[in-house]
Amino acid sequence: MSGAGAAERELVDGSGIRVAVVAGQWHDVIATGLLEGAQREIERLGATAQVIPVPGSFELPVVAKAALESGFDAAVALGVIIRGGTPHFEYVSDAATSGLTRVAIDTGKPVGFGVLTLDDEQQGIDRAGLPGSKEDKGAEAAHAAVATAVTLRGLRDGAGASAS
């Protein structure tokens, strides 16, 4: 979901859905914007959230996995990775992305992907849901996680099954 092509965040009934918001602490301004957007969206959908801070994006997968295994219905992973002059950006971006994908598949629970991989700080400010931002990636990631948890709940309850 990006820019003009982003789908509307329709209202889903997230009541009873417990969300772990695993929030990287690197880059305070952008990270705070992402977190506030995720929290607003989780509240709007009627789900409940617990924020679990981690140092940075590299730590997101292991903590998201532990949270989901402890009983949360969904996780929202929030982080900021800004390209620098070394290959560090590629390693951390790949580790976070691959790791979070694996967490979702291994646990069978949704992980909203709110990790910003940026060329510069301004791109993050534009996407962090701050006053004047063009996008709210924290809210988008939270919506994806809650909406997917609601879909999975429906499938488990038989509401999403179709006759063949």
Which pLDDT band, with edges at 50, 70 and 90, does 7 fall under? low
pLDDT tops 50 at residue 104: yes
Which pLDDT band, with edges at 50, 70 and 90, does 1 fall under? very low
pLDDT digits (tens, 9 = 90+) for 44-74: 999 999 999 999 999 999 999 999 999 999 9
The rounded percent of the chain whose pLDDT value lies above 70 is 92
Residue with tokens 């959230």: 49
Residue with tokens 């997101």: 60
Predicted pLDDT at 144: 98
pLDDT digits (tens, 9 = 90+) for 122-142: 999 999 999 999 999 999 999
Choose among 110, 139, 141, 106: nearest CA to 18.
110
Predicted pLDDT at 85: 86
Active-site annotation holder among 13, 29, 50, 88: 88
When pLDDT is averaged across residues 1-28 and rounded to a whole number, the result is 85
Predicted pLDDT at 153: 96
pLDDT tops 60 at residue 93: yes
When pLDDT is averaged across residues 80-100 and rounded to a whole number, the result is 95
pTM greater than the 0.85 cutoff? yes
Query: What are the distances in angstroms from CA 79 to CA 8, 13, 21, 164?
Result: 23, 26, 11, 42
Query: What are the distances in angstroms from CA 77 to CA 30, 66, 146?
Result: 14, 13, 13
Q: Is 88 a catalytic residue?
A: yes
When pLDDT is averaged across residues 110-118 and rounded to a whole number, the result is 98
User: What distance lies between CA 80 and its chain's CA centroid?
Assistant: 12
- In this structure, what are the phi and psi dihedrals at residue 94, rounded to the nearest 5 degrees? -65, -40
